[in-house]
Structure 1
Amino acid sequence: MHDPQIGAAMGQLIASNRSQTWLTRLIDMEYWLACNEERAAQARFGAVMCCCGPCAMYRRSALTLLLDQYEAQFFRGKPSDFGEDRHLTILMLKAGFRTEYVSDAIAATVVPDRLGPYLRQQLRWARSTFRDTFLALRLLPELDGYLTLDVIGQNLGPLLLALSSLAALAQLLIVGSVPWWTGLTIAAMTMVRCSVAALRARDLRFLGFSLHTPINIFLLLPL
């Protein structure tokens, strides 16, 4: 944090209870991907869009400057008390500070070991992402074009997956034919992503992250 232009930095987040259940192993891989792919890519352009709470550091002078805005979070006229880490990160960027990712700084956190708490957590985070996208819209033209594409992808990706799933379900129910192409396309994209992660991390367990796709389709998207 020697650079005065850096307002916040985050490290790599891991699950301290990774070996507890199949779900905690899956979440640990999800954190690795979020940190070492998404955040690492954003950091190359000086703007990590969310410095995760368990492993974030903020410049005190910058935090003091933004404290009043941070404490008065409203969305559509109502107080909002979720996604405070993403909200504070966006405020830092709007104030002209850079946000960085430091892969050598590692923090461990306890993650949900059952589907119910995990799904509720993911729902809160999804709401935070969509809410703060509106806050970041006026900021994006000042940042690199890649970050605009990244934000668009984060918001449109789940929507496109939902539409594809609904179209496949409609084809199955109305036409009576199995939507092979939709299923194969989703499966292929999933395996490509997991294979790249396994190659980059040099860890074959990331092939098992493919299980996250059916959780997304059948459990998260309906929420």
Structure 2
Amino acid sequence: MKLKRNTLMIRARAKIALLPYAFIILTAIFISFVTDIRSIWITVESYPLGKALLVFSQVFFAIHLLIFIWRVVLCLKYKPARPCTNEELPSCTVIVPAYNEGRQVFDTIKSIAQSDYPPEKMYIIAVDDGSSDDTWYWLHQAEKELHGRVQLFKQPVNRGKRHALYLGFKQGQGDVYVTIDSDSIVEPQTIRNLVSPFIRNDRVGAVAGNVSILNHKEGIIPRMLEVSFAFSFDFLRAGQSVINSVMCTPGALSAYRREVVLNVLFEWLNQKFCGKPANIGEDRAMTNLILRNGFYVHYQRDAVVHTTCPVTFGKLWKMLLRWARSNIRETIVITRFVFRKFRNDGALGLRINVLINLINLTVGQVMHVSAIGLLICMPLIIGPKMILGAALASCAPGIFYAARYKSDKAIWAFPYSFFWMACLSWISFYALMTPHKNGWMTRDLKTKDTHPSWPTSPEKGPFTVPHPLQKAA
């Protein structure tokens, strides 16, 4: 009886969360009727290139509307792979790269060790990428508490996440690699569910996990990002999975078929952009290489990881800028093969997604700059339209979150849309102007070094704590 009452309360809150979006849609329809759209068009046409801008706007909107409908259909068709039994499960190595993570890495590794996965089939590798805090201490604490189940490595100096993962890939064993960020917590069934697509379909080369926000109670930004992440993964990636072409396996949680990774490992490690080593976008780069070699990339909805997100504006825009630069770089990379025959079966869906990404990076940015110009010239006319547009943009993620999770947290999509328009919309254009920059920008000390006497790395090569199974061998 109590469970039924709680279920009814959850559904009621979800319905309440949908009310603002219904109001927004009705308001938009009303304004469209009462506003003299024709007079606005005449005004815009009077400016240089105004007519061309209006035509581009209509075409741009029509394309995105059709793409959105297509993605809704794909999302509705999505089904996660059926979980494997213990006998079916492949052997895997879980790799955790860590840099200045402090106490959090201990909790991350414990959550991995507590997974519903046969211990004899799962190896855990943690790589300290030259941390300057007490990360190495907490890794040893995890190794001690788990009685040697964790194999530890420490880089002499900080070389970047790509090199830390490379070390894990080289030392790993089994059939599958699983990568998990050191600021993330996995649920007991996560790793089992994540690797199941490899058994169900031998053409799957990589699997993307479902990333949610761990620290969603730590402020407004995490609350807004929780809804945004849900839309990005449970809607966009779910649709991409139906066409066998998820475009990015997230660093927070992904799995790769070992033989597929080893075939592209050297190329991935030595990737360059504008003549310089690429030290960002390692997840998207690996995904592109796997797609290029003809393998499928799927999304597994029930493989959930809870990851820490920025709580301040400064760290948020730096993270999004890094992602935007990576998107530009890897979009260039994927265009080199996606329009050629790179796998035996169809790739039309992936080509459509790449084309829409190219349109957003080019035409979309031109329209963004034009909209700012019109806002400056006609603030009283264009301003309300932009506000209404931001409100309408929040409807898709908000309604999706309310329907999918039956939660009133969906309302956070509304302020995030305005926050993005006012404070974050510049990022894509700036990234387009500076794709060559390599800075990670969000790496810093999370905790003070409280264990200065703990042994540091030697002068040459990574320091290693051998895995007990390797000792026995």
Normalising by the residue count of structure 1, what TM-score does the alignment of the two structures yield?
0.89
1:176 deviation in Å?
A: 5.4
User: Of 194, 199, 217, which residue of structure 1 is paired with 2:421?
Assistant: 217
What residue is the counterpart of 1:135 in the other structure? 333
Q: CA deviation at 1:58?
A: 0.8
Q: Which residue of 1 aligns with 2:219?
A: 21
Match of 1:114 in 2: 312
Task: Give the whole-Å Cα distance in 1 for the aligned partners of 2:361 and 2:224.
Answer: 19
Shift of 1:165: 4.8
Q: Indicate conservation of the 8 Å contact 1:82/1:124, yes or no.
A: yes
The answer to whether the 8 A contact 1:161-1:217 is kept is no
Could you tell me how far apart the structure 1 residues matched to 2:283 and 2:213 are? Answer: 18
Which of 140, 153, 163 aligns to 2:356? It is 153
| Range that drifts further, 24-33 or 94-103 | 24-33
> Which residue matches 1:173?
376
CA RMSD of aligned residues (A): 2.2
Secondary structure of 2:359's partner?
A: helix
State the 4+ residue runs in structure 1 displaced beyond 4 angstroms: 158-165
Structure 1 residues 102, 17: CA separation in 2 closer, same or farther (over 3 Å shift)?
same
3-state SS, counterpart of residue 140 of structure 1 = coil
Q: Which runs of 5+ in 2 are unaligned?
A: 1-197, 428-473
Q: Which amino acid aligns with 1:110?
A: T
Q: Does 1:78 find its partner at 2:290?
A: no
Cα distance between partner residues in 2 of 1:55 and 1:164:
35
Aligned to 2:409: 205
Deviation digits for residues 85-104 of structure 1, max 9, x if unmatched? 00000000111111111111
> Hey, what's the Cα distance between the residues in 2 that align with 1:169 and 1:22?
27
- 1:191 aligned residue: 395
Q: CA deviation at 1:192?
A: 4.2
With over 3 angstroms needed to count, the CA separation of the structure-2 counterparts of 1:183 and 1:28, relative to structure 1, is closer
- The structure-2 alpha-carbon separation of the partners of 1:75 and 1:202, relative to structure 1 and needing over 3 Å to count, comes to same
Whether the aligned pair in 1 keeps the contact of 2:228 and 2:397 (CA below 8 Å) is no
Q: Aligned to 2:411, what secondary structure does the other structure show?
A: helix
Q: Secondary structure at the match of 1:96?
A: coil
Map 1:45-84 onto structure 2 (within 5 A).
Answer: 45-84=243-282
Whole-Å Cα distance in 2 between the matches of residues 30 and 46 of structure 1? 23
Q: Distance in 2 between matches of 1:176 and 1:135?
A: 39
Which has the larger Rg? 2
Alpha-carbon distance between aligned partners in 2 of 1:37 and 1:217, rounded to the nearest angstrom: 21
Moved more, 177-186 or 115-124: 177-186
Where in structure 1 are there 5+ consecutive unaligned residues?
none
Q: Which amino acid aligns with 1:4?
A: D
Is 1:144 the counterpart of 2:347? The answer is yes
Letter in 2 for 1:188: L
Taking structure 2 as the reference length, the TM-score comes to 0.44
Show the 5 A alignment for 1:96-115: 96-115=294-313
CA offsets, 1:182-221, max 9 Å, x none? 4323432332442244223322322321222233223223
Deviates more, 1:108-117 or 1:186-195: 186-195
Distance in 1, Cα, partners of 2:256 & 2:337: 20
Q: What amino acid maps onto 1:53 in structure 2?
A: G
What secondary structure sits across from 2:268 in the alignment?
helix
Deviations 1:25-76 (A, max 9, x none): 1122222111111111000011111010111011111111110011011112
Q: 1:172 to 1:38 in 2, by over 3 A?
A: closer
The count of residues paired between Structure 1 and Structure 2 equals: 223
User: Contact conserved, 1:123 with 1:220, CA < 8 A, in 2?
Assistant: no
Judge which range, 210-219 or 131-140, deviates more: 210-219
Provide the rounded CA distance (Å) in 2 between the counterparts of 1:78 and 1:134. Answer: 16
What do the CA deviations read for 1:93-130 (whole angstroms, capped 9, x no partner)?
11111111111111111111111111100000000011
Contact 2:210 2:303 in 1 (8 A): yes
- Counterparts of 2:280 and 2:369 in 1: how far apart (Å)? 29
The partner residue of 1:31 within 229, 234, 242 is 229
Q: What is the identity percentage for the equivalent residue pairs of Structure 1 and Structure 2?
A: 24
* Equivalent residue, structure 1, for 2:25: none
Alignment partners' CA distance in 1, 2:227 and 2:396:
15
For residues 254 and 378 of structure 2, the distance between their equivalents in structure 1, rounded to whole angstroms, comes to: 51
Q: Check 1:202–1:163 CA distance in 2 against 1; reply closer, same or farther (3 A cut).
A: farther
* Cα distance between partner residues in 2 of 1:172 and 1:51: 38
1:140-172 CA-to-partner distances (Å, cap 9, x unmatched) read 234532322323334534666655554444334
